[in-house]
Amino acid sequence: MRITWRRAVGIAVACLILLFMIRSLRSEIAGLGKHEFVVSPWRIAGAFATYAILFLIYGALWKYILGKFGYSLPYVKSLRVWLLSQAGRYVPGKVWFALGRIYLSEREGVPRSVTTVATALELALVLASSLVVFGLASVAAGTLGGHPYAWSVVLVPVIVAGVHPKIIGRAVRLLRKGQGEFTMKYVDVLKILAAYAGCWCLYGLGFYLVGTAVVVKAAGVAGGPPMGRGLLPEMIGINALSWTVGFISIVTPAGLGVREGIAFSLLSKAVDKPYPSLIPLVARLWVTIAEVAAIGIAAIPGGRRQR
């Protein structure tokens, strides 16, 4: 009953936020009078290409993290484990992707205790790097650089100090049961943090490309992308923060609704109507298609072996 209650609340929250955004989008487009949607297939293709590259990088980073715990998996297996575990994010509760990672890694010979700590470390660095990127974007971008976002740059030195191995080691001692050797140095942790920050920049580029791929044109008015390249830092920072808040939301699957709500709020300060409503919805469709396709491809080898 408890799980059912949380799932019901999560679905209700997601539906309410998305309904509000869809209604807002409809009213904003209706205000344009005669209009048409112009789609750039090249920008959409570029957005999917960036996400495909992200998958490859995430698989390599998962392999690297496991290696620091003394367990080395072939890259293809590491990538497959990482991809298949992402399916758990679409189930309310956020714990299912971690359980899936533990189960899949155990099948490849990695003990549960090691995968638990490695997954926690990965997640901590992913979330920490998103805040670093948002903090830096708040300074680099004019729209987000004003009150109340510029203060977020102070998170950068706090996070850099907070990922010191002495601090991480305490968590490792609590979660690990003597299996797997943690040999990661401070420089190694900072490298991974920087790598995930780079991933957020690449993810933000995809968000920018898909966000500028759909243009609403009023009759007789020459249309163009809803934003110029000068707003790329805003898009990177907005995407990083909205994903993090959506992930922290434990009641909605894959941050559905929450991520879009945060993006809508921040985009309202950066772009004109109807794009604050349109961009998050288009981006959600982009991400869902990319992730479902990647998970489906990753599941094919396992299905063949079972036969």
CA within 13 Å, CB half, 75: 6
11-25, 61-75, 90-104: segment of lowest average pLDDT: 11-25
pLDDT at 214: 80
Residue appearing with tokens 């392999």: 63
d(CA 36, CA 9): 36
Task: Give the pair of three-digit tokens for residue 292.
Answer: 């479902």
Q: Is residue 189 situated within a structural domain?
A: yes
pLDDT at 221: 47
% of the chain residues with pLDDT over 70: 68
Domains identified in the chain, total number = 1
Structural domain boundaries enclosing 111: 48-298
Tens digits of per-residue pLDDT, 15-25?
554 455 455 44
Q: Is residue 4 situated within a structural domain?
A: no
Tens digits of per-residue pLDDT, 143-193?
554 445 666 677 788 888 777 777 776 766 666 555 445 567 888 889 999
Q: Is residue 188 situated within a structural domain?
A: yes
Question: What is the pLDDT of the chain when averaged over all its residues?
Answer: 76
Q: Is residue 23 situated within a structural domain?
A: no
pLDDT at 304: 41
Tens digits of per-residue pLDDT, 201-229?
999 999 999 988 887 765 444 455 566 55
Q: Is residue 116 situated within a structural domain?
A: yes
pLDDT band at residue 92 using 50, 70 and 90 as cut-offs = low
120-129, 149-158, 234-243: segment of lowest average pLDDT: 149-158
Q: Do the beta carbons of residue 71 and residue 180 sit within 8 Å?
A: yes
103 vs 72, 115, 119, 275, 307, CA distance in Å? Answer: 16, 9, 12, 41, 20
Identify which of 108, 136, 111, 123 has the alpha carbon closest to the alpha carbon of residue 61: 123
Q: Is residue 34 situated within a structural domain?
A: no
Q: Is residue 14 situated within a structural domain?
A: no
Q: Is residue 147 situated within a structural domain?
A: yes
